[in-house]
Structure formats: C-alpha cells, structure tokens
Homo-oligomer: A and B are copies of this chain.
Amino acid sequence: MKINIEESIKTYGKKIDALLRETIPPDKDDYLSEPIWHHLRTGGKRIRPAICLITCKELGGNPNEALYFAVAIEILHNMFLLHDDIEDGDTMRRDQPTVWVKYGTANAINAGDYLLARAYQCILSSPIASDKKMKYLDIFTLTYEKTVVGQALDINARGARDFTVKKYTDMVELKTGYYLACGMVGGAIASGHSDRVIDQIWKLGKFMGPAFQIKDDLIDLTKGKGRGGVIGSDIKEGKASFLYAYTSEVATEDDKKTLIEIMTKQRKETTEADVKQVLKIYKKHNAMDHAQRYAEDLIKQANSIIDEIPINNKTVFKEIANFMAKRMT
C-alpha cells in the first residue's frame, strides 16, 4: 500500500509539536525559552521526527512508543542549528536573524546546551519499557557524537588545500548520515525489530546522507538556501562542499590556486565577482553535472541497501527515500 508521507508528516506534526511545547515550554522567563522559541518559530517542518513515527507505524509498532524519541531528535536537530550558526558565522536562518545575532553568542551556546539536556530528558521520561529506552539512549548518543565528529571535520575543511571527494563523503557520512538514519532506526526499535534490521538502516544513512547533502550543495548554487535567497553562501563561507571537493581534485593548478584563494577569504571579503569566478571554475570542470550524477548513484546504492533489509515490507523505506529525494530537487 502506498504511504502518503506528506499527509503523515502533517498528522504526526501536531503530536510532535504538542510534546515539543510540553518539553520546552514557551514564554518561560529563564533567558532560554525566548531565544529557543525565536528559533523554533521560524519554521521547520518536523520532517525528521515524523519519519521516525511513520517508520514505526509501517513496521508494525505503536507510534506513541516512539513519540518521545522522535521529539528528542527534533530537539537535537535544533540544538545543532543553534551551535552551527555560531560556528559558521551565519547571520540569517529562514529569513530571520539567527539566535547568536539576536541574543548574543553566550546565550546561543547556552540555549543549545539546554536543548540537548531537554532532549535527553525527553527520552528519559518516555513511557516505554526500559530496554527500549536504553536502546534509544544508545542510538541518540551515537548519533549526537558522530554528528559532532562530522562537524569538526567540516569546520576544519573550510578552504582546505587538500580537500578530496573521499574526505567530503567521510565527513558527510558522519555529519548527516547518522542523523538521517536515526529516526528510521528509532521507528524500528519501537516496533521491536532485530539488530540486523537496525544495522542495515544505519548503512542506508551512509548513502542517503551524502546524497542529500550533495543535492543541498547544488541548491546553494541554483536557488539559494532560504537565507534571503542569496546564491553562493557556501562559497562566501568557504564551505567544504562536494563542488569544492571535486573541483579541487580535477582542476588545473591555476584554477585550483584561484579557487583556494577565494575559499580561504573571510566571508565579508568575498566579493560577488569572487563568487562568479568560482562558479565559472565549477562549470568549466563540469562539477555540477558530476555532483548530480554522484548523488543519483548514491541514491541507487541506497535503494540496493533497502532491498537487503531483512524484512518483508520495505515500502516505507522506499517511500521515505523518494520523498526526501523529491524535496531536494
């Protein structure tokens, strides 16, 4: 049976939002609630927690058992956004000033720390059997840790002189792969599936994460990432994108020199002409086409992984992969 992912996201979204508000009450006078809700109100479609609940239901589990974990994932996601915006120096997110810009770096770091505490609290107060709860704590901590390790590689790869596609995929597997798989793994745990199923879902994340990140890198060059619709933020930030990795490997020495020179510039020193120059180099080496093909190949591989998941009904994984691929075009 076909699953309506869009519809399910809307339905589960209400449950997720209700528990999110219970876990982090808005309008508390504690210097935490205000910056956090400034950020949460800017949007976010709760896609990741919804995917957890959809997976749980489709695998025969009770979504209420996965709900607290799903909300913890959403909180973790937002905690990373708060800290990443400081680390990346991003001043706008979803067309609003970022938390560190509006409330200062100190409050933004601390608000992120608080979110993480509430995420753990949310899992700990989950009304499920303690063996499942322990598994949730395990996979949540694993995901949190791997994402941070990936972020460390990401920060330090900016404007790097020896960046490669291999380094890029290693970094992105860590930074986005675990996070992407985590919700589906959570759904599989609540519905009582075996470690063999779970291992396969983690593996799935290692292909889907990089695939979607590459597509995200491409979006920055075509329609911008919703930060005021600006094109090429990644170039201004010197961000370690797939395009940068690939072009670093294949470009002529002269092009590579120009590329690194622009990518290592401070954001405010990077001109529009610089951005255009980088785009020209990317185009010259067919980096965009290559990225597109590379991402599509990863998605094909992800589909093979799904075929190997040792359960009968794999529709949910195929549908989630399709849904996410569609969002990324």
Contacts and interface: CB of A to CB of B under 8 A. Distances in A.
Interface of A: 30-32, 83, 86-88, 105-107, 109-114, 116-118, 120-121, 124, 130-131, 133-134, 137-138, 141, 144-145, 148-149, 151-153, 155-156
A153 B86 contact: no
A130 B137 CA distance: 12
Given A117-B145, A118-B145, A124-B137, A152 B31 contact: yes
B105 A152 contact: no
Contacts of A138: 124
Contacts of A110: 83, 87, 148, 151-152, 155
A195 to B, nearest CB: 16
| 3 closest cross-chain pairs (CB), A and B | A117-B145, A87-B106, A31-B152
Given A130-B130, A134-B134, A152 B107 contact: yes
Given A130-B134, A134-B133, A149 B105 contact: no
B134 A32 contact: no
A141 B30 CA distance: 18
Given A87-B109, A156-B31, A124 B141 contact: yes
Nearest to A113: B148
A86 B109 contact: yes
A153 B83 contact: no
A137 B153 contact: no
A194 B83 CA distance: 39
Given A110-B152, A113-B151, 10 more contacts: A30-B149, A30-B152, A30-B153, A31-B153, A32-B149, A87-B105, A120-B144, A124-B137, A124-B141, A130-B131
A148 B119 CA distance: 14
B30 A114 contact: no
Contact of A148 (B105, B117, B137, B148): B117
Given A124-B137, A133-B134, A116 B116 contact: yes
A137 B113 contact: no
A238 to B, nearest CB: 12
Contacts of A113: 83, 112, 116, 144, 148, 151
B152 A32 contact: yes
